[in-house]
Amino acid sequence: MANRKCPVCGNPLTGRIDRKYCSDQCRYLENNKNKYDAERPILEINRRLRKNRAILKALCPIGKSTVRKEVMVAMGYDMTIFSSLFLTTKKQVYYLCYDYGFTPLKEKGVEKALIITKQDYMNTWDPWKFVNKNNEANK
């Protein structure tokens, strides 16, 4: 029992028998490390979303613009990650990164993106209204 050591810094533990850390600083470091390990995937996704949003914002300074897909990719846009979707009544999909988004276009064989800022009506989107009768569970 006399050879107990702090798991963070290795200093000997003194005082109470159930003490785990030698100081508040070591306790904070250990708890923050555990929290960071658990939240690392969330932090990475948010980092990528923020980068995508910054690219969309840079390419769309006035609320609406059209750019080639290759420009977005060259700037580092990750097409696989977005914060939400919006489906129009014409079945056009907008891939949103927080308050900016885009929909893919193809003009004369050239892949482009129509970039927009998110509108208020996009906040009321209900994905269940597109479920057809065949997808409903049997009663």
What are the residues facing 5 on neighbouring strands?
A: 12
Q: What is the pLDDT along the chain (139 residues), one digit of tens a residue?
A: 568 899 989 899 988 888 999 999 998 888 888 777 778 899 899 999 999 999 999 999 888 999 999 999 999 999 999 999 998 888 899 999 999 999 999 999 999 999 999 988 888 877 777 777 666 655 4
Residue 13 makes CB contacts below 8 A (sequence gap 6+) with 4, 5, 6, 19, 20, 21, 22
Q: What angle do CA 77, 127, 122 make, to 5 degrees?
A: 60
Considering just the CA atoms, what is the radius of gyration of the chain in Å? 25
